[in-house]
Amino acid sequence: MSNVPPDLQYTKTHEWVRTLPDGTVEIGITDHAQHALGDLVFVEVPEAGRTVALGEPCAVVESVKAASDVYSPVAGEITLGNPLLAGEPEAVNNDPYGKGWLMRLRPTKGAASADLMPADKYLILLQTEGG
Amino acid sequence: MGRRTPLFELHQQLGARIVDFGGWDMPVQYASQIGEHHAVRRVAGIFDVSHMCAVDLKGPRVRQFLQHLLANDVAKLKVPGKALYSCMLNEAGGVLDDLIVYFLNESAFRLVVNAGTRDKDLAWIRSIGQQFDVQATERTDLAILAIQGPEARAKTAALLSASGANAAMALGPFFGRDIDGWFVARTGYTGEDGFEVMLPASDAVRVWRELNAAGVVSCGLGARDTLRLEAGMNLYGNDMDETTHPFESGLAWTVAMQPGERRFIGREALEKVLANTAAPPRQLVGLVLEDRGVLRSHQKVVPTGEITSGTFSPTLERSIALARVPAGAVQQVQVDIRGKLLNARVVKPPFVRFGKAMI
């Protein structure tokens, strides 16, 4: 069974969102997503300063098998891409909610965000997807 | 639901992720694809390749038939048990399939063909075979296991009788024979030593479990693909197909143009290719990505060309590919990955052989 921390919010495309004390958000992919992708061998994160729209592909995670886009669940400006992942893409597999975060961004004020789910709703989604 | 091999339920019990492969429900990985890859390079792994198809050919003129059917020349098969890799071409010189042919005796040969092409192949083989009175029998009663890696042969031989084990260990490369009711062949698709074993489907689950118990790691098609690409081996449908001929697919070494009087299917088309010196055939080359990223099939090569197979090489810890590019010497190219041009070095495959980097 996938690990779904209760304190995060989730998208139906298997990203997670953590609100940080300074009002920025940290974004990654869920345990379910990393498991489905398999061993990650390359991660491309966005550069700081880039503005991303809601639902825009803004990072790429590549396993041995395939490349997958990661969609921004929030519109805003990237403040940091995780620098660790250039040399250690497997951190996304090993610690998807910790060391394996992908990016941080400052949400655009008043902009729409994706339909974010609390953990219990995300768990139900995983069950209906057979995950 | 796709077609299933005799091992399907075992794969599920072992926790495999199942994917569709050419109409078959096959395990792509069990635990970690990279872990499975390393197991084959370092110890031993086992693959279910029962989706591939053994076809027994019988008839007094079967050798003559195969000399017509195949681009490689079965005249090279002089000793019973010897195997040969060959393409089967259409009249235009396009590759219908690549296969292994085993010489059993003068009236019996065995082919092993790809899963995705097996129905098409059988129809083709039977239609040509009629002219030679050759009977083709699809051996759906057999499972095919590939046990590969530096310790694969010894661990497989340990399941055989004492005399069978000796016979198996004595097999030379690209030889196969009946041993204890199995057909054991020293062939593979990984760049490592090992066996491919054709055995009664009813034995397959027991043998798989016994090999697991002996430390042979269950491996899926994901690891099979990274291993074959490191070994510089083509995948039918990616690196060649009916629209490409062997000379532009890195397979010239498998085409026997001599003796000139052997009129195999596709020969005339290939002769025209060779005669047209104004337009030399494209070439299939190896690429090693020097920048960070992963090469994938269908990415564009700059200035000209296209990747036919690409992946991350677990052994080299960088991305490698096969690419079709124009004729002529070239050492450095770029590859367009999501709009960025990344640098790649042109190399001659294999990339890895017997666990060692070759580039």
Is B12 in contact with B18 (CB distance < 8 Å)? yes
Residues of B with CB under 8 A from a CB of A: 28-29, 32-35, 222, 226, 292-294, 296, 311-312, 314, 319, 338
Mark yes or no for CB contact B292/A64 under 8 Å.
no
Confidence class of residue A113 from pLDDT cuts 50, 70 and 90? confident
Question: What's the pLDDT at A110?
Answer: 83
Is A85 in contact with A102 (CB distance < 8 Å)? yes
Q: What is the CATH number of the domain that holds A85?
A: 2.40.50.100
Q: With a cut of 80, say whether residue A131 has pLDDT above it.
A: no
CB pairs under 8 A between A and B: 36
Mark yes or no for CB contact B292/A42 under 8 Å.
yes
A51 is a domain residue: yes
Burial degree of B209 (CB within 10 A; 0-12, 13-18, 19+): middle
Tokens of B174: 């690209």
Contacts of B286 (CB under 8 A, 6+ apart): B232, B320, B321, B322, B323, B346, B347, B348, B349, B351, B359
| Distance between CA atoms of residues B346 and A31, nearest Å | 37
Confidence class of residue A1 from pLDDT cuts 50, 70 and 90? low
| Distance between CA atoms of residues B356 and B359, nearest Å | 9
Predicted confidence (pLDDT) per residue in A13-63, tens digit: 999 999 999 999 999 999 999 999 999 999 999 999 999 999 999 999 999
Q: What is the mean pLDDT of residues B254-262?
A: 97
Total tally of structural domains belonging to chain A = 1
Mark yes or no for CB contact B226/A64 under 8 Å.
yes
Mark yes or no for CB contact B34/A67 under 8 Å.
no
Number of residues written out for chain A: 131
ipTM, interface predicted TM-score of the complex: 0.84
A44 is a domain residue: yes
State which residue of chain B sits closest to A67, comparing Cα positions.
B294
| Chain B residues with beta carbon closer than 8 angstroms to that of A39 | 32-35
| Distance between CA atoms of residues B50 and B201, nearest Å | 9
Output the 3-class SS for chain B.
CCECCCCHHHHHHCCCEEEEECCEEEEEECCCHHHHHHHHHHCCEEEECCCCEEEEEECCCHHHHHHHHECCCHHHCCCCCEEEEEEEECCCCCEEEEEEEEEEECCEEEEEECCCCHHHHHHHHHHHHHCCCCEEEECCCEEEEEEECCCHHHHHHCCCCHHHHHHHHCCCCCEEEEECCEEEECCCCCCCCEEEEEEEHHHHHHHHHHHHHCCCEECCHHHHHHHHHHCCCCCECCCECCCCCHHHCCCHHHCCCCCCCCCCCCHHHHHHHHHCCCCCCCEEEEEEECCCCCCCCCCEEECCCEEEEEEEECCCCEEEEEEEECCCCCCEEEEEECCEEEEEEEECCCCEECCEECC
State which residue of chain A sits closest to B222, comparing Cα positions.
A65
Q: With a cut of 90, say whether residue B44 has pLDDT above it.
A: yes
Among B35, B222, B338, the residue with its CB nearest the CB of A65 is B222
| Distance between CA atoms of residues B222 and B205, nearest Å | 21
Question: What's the pLDDT at A114?
Answer: 73
Confidence class of residue A65 from pLDDT cuts 50, 70 and 90? confident
The reported pTM is 0.93
Question: What's the pLDDT at B18?
Answer: 95
Mark yes or no for CB contact A38/B311 under 8 Å.
no
A122 is a domain residue: no
Q: Is A67 on the interface with B (CB under 8 A)?
A: yes
Most B-contacting residue of A39, A56, A129 (CB-CB within 10 A), to test interface: A39
A15 is a domain residue: yes
Is A101 in contact with A25 (CB distance < 8 Å)? no
Domain residues for A15?
9-114
Mark yes or no for CB contact A38/B292 under 8 Å.
no
Mark yes or no for CB contact A38/B226 under 8 Å.
no
| Chain B residues with beta carbon closer than 8 angstroms to that of A64 | 33-34, 222, 226, 311-312, 314
Is B350 in contact with B230 (CB distance < 8 Å)? yes
A128 is a domain residue: no
Predicted confidence (pLDDT) per residue in B151-167, tens digit: 999 999 999 999 999 99
DSSP percent split of chain A into helix, strand, coil, nearest 5: 20, 35, 45
Angle, helices B62-69 vs B118-130, to 10°: value is 120
A41 is a domain residue: yes
Mark yes or no for CB contact B338/A39 under 8 Å.
no
Question: What's the pLDDT at A2?
Answer: 84
- For residue B220, the distance in angstroms to the closest alpha carbon of chain A comes to 12
- Number of neighbours of residue B274 by Cβ within 10 angstroms: 13
Among B292, B293, B311, the residue with its CB nearest the CB of A64 is B311
Q: Is A57 on the interface with B (CB under 8 A)?
A: no
Predicted confidence (pLDDT) per residue in B115-154, tens digit: 999 999 999 999 999 999 999 999 999 999 999 999 999 9
A130 is a domain residue: no
Contacts of B275 (CB under 8 A, 6+ apart): none
| HSE-CB for B4 with a 13 A CA cutoff | 9
H or E stretch including A36?
helix A31-37
Q: With a cut of 70, say whether residue B215 has pLDDT above it.
A: yes
Among B34, B292, B293, the residue with its CB nearest the CB of A64 is B34
| Distance between CA atoms of residues B294 and B317, nearest Å | 11
Confidence class of residue A129 from pLDDT cuts 50, 70 and 90? confident
Backbone angles phi, psi at B64, to 5 degrees: -60, -40
Backbone angles phi, psi at B112, to 5 degrees: -125, 120
A49 is a domain residue: yes
| Chain B residues with beta carbon closer than 8 angstroms to that of A41 | 34, 294, 312
| Chain A residues with beta carbon closer than 8 angstroms to that of B28 | 65
Confidence class of residue B57 from pLDDT cuts 50, 70 and 90? very high
Mark yes or no for CB contact A39/B34 under 8 Å.
yes
Q: Mean pLDDT score of chain B, rounded to an integer?
A: 97
